[in-house]
Structure formats: C-alpha cells, structure tokens
Amino acid sequence: MPRSPSKRVKEQNSKMEEKPAENRPKGDQTVMFMKDSLCASSDLQVIKLKHPRTGTPAVYVLDHNQTKIFEMISFDEGHRSWFIGSKVMSDGRLYLISPIDVTYLTLPYLITAEKNVPVDHLLEDTDYPDIKHLASLAKTRDFSHVADQKGSPDLGVWRYNEELTLNWLSSKVEKLSVLLQDKKIPTSAAQSFTFVRTASLEHTQEAYKALAHGIIADYLSEDLSKALHKHLKLPEITSKQKTSKGTENEPPSKKQKVEGPIEDYSKGKVEGEKNKMPQTAKAKALAKSAAGTKNIMAFFGKK
C-alpha cells in the first residue's frame, strides 16, 4: 500500500543514543525542526515508547507542562552532510518534532487488553518504563471515539470498540485526503511533478484516499490497517499492478523498443526467408538489375 507523497526514508529514531556530555565533541550539532514554543523551553523531556505500528522503541518528546506529546521523526537519505557556518557536519539526518495524538499510542494497549481497568493502569509496560508519562496524559483524555466507557466516568475505564475506531480513522483519512488534494501533493496514481496523467475526478479522489490511508497506517498495526483499507472500500493492489508501476512519481515503465537488426546477416541465408512479404514491382526491378552481382559479404570471406 502507498506510504507517502514522495519517496522518503522515514524511521523512528530508535537508534538515537545520547552521547555522554564529557564524550560529546565540541560543536556537535543536529538539524531539527520544531515549534518555537518548544524551543523557548529548556524543560523538554525525551522519552522512549513502543511504536504503535512496529512495536519497536521510538523516541518522543514531552513539552514543559507534560500536557502534549510529540514524535521525533528522522529522515535519512544516506551520504548527506550539512554545512553549518564554516563547518561540515557528517550526520546529514534531518529531525522533525511533530505532535501526535495520544490515541494512536494508546490503541495497541486497548486492543490487547484482557481486563476492564482504568486507562492509567492499562498503560503499564516493563519494557518501557517511560510509559508512565503516557498514562498520565491518557488518564485525562476521552476515548469515546475508539472505545466504550465502562462504569463511572471518574474511573476512566474503556473497552476497545472496533467499529467506532474504524469510523474515526475513516474520518481522519477523508480529511487528510482532501488536504493532500488541496495542496496538490503528487502521487504515483494521481499526478506527479514530472509526469502528468489524465484521470477522472473519481480516480483522483480514490488515489488521494489511498495515499492518506497509507500515511495514517504508519500509526496502526498491520491488522487494523488492513481492516481500515477494507472499511474504506479501497481497491486491492494486484501483483500485475505492482509490476506495471514504475517508481513513485514516475509513469509506468513501457516495453523497451528493440532497434536494429534482430537476425544475423553475416550468413548467406537468413532464417525466415520462406515467410517473405510479396515484392512490389519496384522491388522486383531492383532485384533484376542486381542479378549476377556478388553478395557484399563475399568480399570479407576467407581467400
């Protein structure tokens, strides 16, 4: 399934390990984009949680009030460096700090919950002790868009509801697809910066919806992503479609045209002479005038 509007390498910065201050070289810098409000505070807290799709460690950031959570995304295209002032920084990765809905981080625990317990008790994971910060955030949130409330509202007990979740995710996909289309984000199925393809409005909307689904699916488990794909009634991508498509933002590859002779003319007799096309009167006249002359290849034979 499509994953992004342009070809990119997106990875959660699970491999990012802070160097001890005494061992960190002077002038060691990182290129990072974040909101000014975050830059204004020195009380940011970096935590490590389980990624909702892959289940692997991922890095997140809490604001100084610990009321909002942001994901740290790393773009690494390899063999890239940054020029900062008069220095060259060998680490060419680009980091983005963007807000993330607590619901996406909580869903995996709601789905696998075996008991009806308060959400702050539900969010416990010995492999990720920083989850206590997520539990503190989730305790004050309303999850009625993905779960049914059990008992008193003060208890904060929720039970996962797949139908509610798919409806909520579908609305997310619809809004995102409209935004992508308004921004004219190129897709391999709808349009491209370098290739213009005529398509019906219905086909274009479907292409953007598939693209939006791919982006939302980055935060969903594989099973939930497939269920959402089916709920949206998106067409399945067949193996034939996969092989016919070129790389993203490129038109489908065309059958290569073979130019030049495909038979060996160094031999006196060419295969397929029996299937010759009928000669025209002009061709017959030329053949008659050439009668008695030697084949040109005779001059290159052994003496």
Q: What was the pLDDT predicted at 33?
A: 81
Q: Are 191 and 218 in contact (CB under 8 A)?
A: no
Confidence of residue 249 (pLDDT cuts 50, 70, 90): very low
pLDDT at 90 over 70: yes
Taking each helix axis from N to C end, the angle separating 222-231 and 201-216, rounded to the nearest 10 degrees, works out to 160
Residue linked to tokens 């997140």: 60
pLDDT at 32 over 70: yes
pLDDT at 138 over 90: yes
Residue linked to tokens 């990119």: 8
- In this structure, of 75-79, 116-120, 234-238, 277-281, the range with the lowest mean pLDDT score is 277-281
Q: What was the pLDDT predicted at 294?
A: 59
Q: What was the pLDDT predicted at 303?
A: 55
Stretch 214-227: mean pLDDT: 95
Stretch 104-128: mean pLDDT: 94
Q: Can you give the C-alpha Rg of the chain in angstroms? A: 31
Question: What is the second-level CATH architecture of the domain 1-21+28-100?
Answer: Single Sheet (2.20)
Residue 95, CA distances (Å) to 10, 11, 75, 92, 139 in order? 10, 10, 6, 10, 29
- In this structure, of 29-38, 209-218, 282-291, the range with the lowest mean pLDDT score is 282-291
pLDDT at 277 over 90: no
pTM score of the predicted model? 0.67
Task: Please state whether beta strands 45-50 and 31-33 pair in parallel, antiparallel, or not at all (unpaired).
Answer: unpaired
- In this structure, of 26-40, 170-184, 252-266, the range with the lowest mean pLDDT score is 252-266
pLDDT at 10 over 80: no
Distance, CA of 172 to CA of 280 (rounded, Å): 68
Average pLDDT in the chain: 76
Distance, CA of 260 to CA of 144 (rounded, Å): 68
Residues 6+ apart with CB under 8 A from 64: 41, 42, 43, 44
Question: Bigger pLDDT: 286 or 156?
Answer: 156
Distance, CA of 21 to CA of 167 (rounded, Å): 48
Residue 85, CA distances (Å) to 27, 29, 88 in order? 11, 11, 8
Stretch 51-59: mean pLDDT: 94
